[in-house]
Amino acid sequence: MLRIEDLSIRFKAGTPDEVCVLDGIQLQVKEGSFVVVIGTNGSGKSTLLNAVAGVFPPERGRIEVAGQDVTRWPEHRRARLIGRVFQNPFSGTAPHMTVAENLALAARRGLARGLRWALLPGLMRQMKDRVGELNMGLEDRLESEMGSLSGGQRQALTLLMASWVRPQLLLLDEHTAALDPKAADQVIRLTHQIVTRDRLTTLMVTHSMAQAVHLGDRLIMMNKGQIIFDAEGMAKKSLRVEDLMARFEEVRRDEQLDVSAAKMLKALYI
């Protein structure tokens, strides 16, 4: 469903601050697979998701979604295949438009937009039903401005918007990180419900080890723009929080070794 070959991205290429944020990523995700992505801050998780979504063109490599080579497609064209939820609850919705208008925009994802009424009666009925399924009482607030809702409510609606038209691929970038624990819990339960019901192929970045262990059927760990650990099937099921913590510790130790080795080399040769 998703196939990434030798994907590399550098920022500020050709300047002294050049950073290689993605370094030859190879990844294949099967249809219906739910992949959890973890990694330290700055390891390139968001960049990986953004590259798949088409926010910036890759320096090298190929991206294929649902059998189509999308490497050269602009962001809005890839949106036909891809649904997204961002870390910041403000990023996924238009605050001064009503809940219904936001949902109506999402209902046309990947479809032509014409001079027809945005809020058609049939669509409004459908909204009542599907928002009602969230069990958050939001079906009575379709006429409210999006900006008047809480972060958790907005994130739940963004999730509904991303999956309103069934996406071939769902990208979630730490979509619960900015929420309080209770709201985060609710959004995670909703994520699980939608992904399993619609059997969506999903990439979910998270900083929560509990989520990483309990959700998904595959886990990848990133460090310095590379995938350094990949567990699938039984190996993923048997992972515990302690295993992941040990992995992170290992990465940290290696890094310290790197730093001290670099110091030693400097001392010797410079």
Partner 1 sequence: MTLLLGSLTIGLILTLLALGVYISFRIFDFPDLTADGSLALGAAVSAVLLVQGLHPVWATLAGAAAGVLAGAVTGLLHTRFRINNLLSGILVMTALYSTNLYVMGRSNVPLLSVRSLNSLAEAAGVDFFGRADISLFGWPVMVRDLTMLGCIAAVVLAACGSLYLFFRTQVGTAMRATGENPLMIRALGVPTGWMIVVGLMLSNGLIALSGSLLAQYQGFADVQMGIGMMVWGLASVIIGEALVQSRKLGLTIVGCVMGSVLFRLLIAIALRWGLNPNSLKLITAVFVLAALVLPSLIGQWTRRKGRA
Q: Give whichever of 111 and 267 is closer to partner 1, judged by the CB atom.
A: 111
- The string of DSSP codes covering 203-242 is EEE-S-HHHHHHS-SEEEEEETTEEEEEEEHHHHHT--HH
CA 56 to CA 3: how far, in whole Å? 17
Tell whether residue 229 is a contact of ligand ADP (CB under 6 A): no
CA 162 to CA 158: how far, in whole Å? 6
Stretch that binds Mg ion, among 42-50, 105-113, 209-217, 221-229 (CB under 5 A): 42-50
Counting every residue written for the chain, the total comes to: 270
CA 47 to CA 53: how far, in whole Å? 10
Tell whether residue 106 is a contact of partner 1 (CB under 8 A): yes
Closest CB 17 distance from ligand ADP, rounded Å = 8
Question: Per-residue x/- marks for ligand ADP, 2-41, CB under 6 A?
Answer: ---------xx------x-x-----------------x-x
Residues 36-55 contacting partner 1, CB under 8 A: 53
Of 22, 20, 24, 2, the residue nearest 12 (C-alpha)? 20
| Count of other CB atoms within 10 angstroms of residue 217 | 16
Tell whether residue 160 is a contact of partner 1 (CB under 8 A): no
Size of the site for ligand ADP (CB under 6 A): 12
Partner whose footprint covers residue 227, from Mg ion, ligand ADP, partner 1, none (CB < 5 to 8 Å by kind): none
Tell whether residue 47 is a contact of ligand ADP (CB under 6 A): yes
Those residues with Cβ within 8 angstroms of residue 54's Cβ, 6 or more apart along the chain or in another chain: 70, 73, 74, 75, 77, 78
Tell whether residue 153 is a contact of partner 1 (CB under 8 A): no
Partner whose footprint covers residue 19, from partner 1, Mg ion, ligand ADP, none (CB < 5 to 8 Å by kind): ligand ADP
- The residues of the shown chain that bind Mg ion, judged by CB under 5 A, are 46
- The residues of the shown chain that bind ligand ADP, judged by CB under 6 A, are 11-12, 19, 21, 39, 41-47
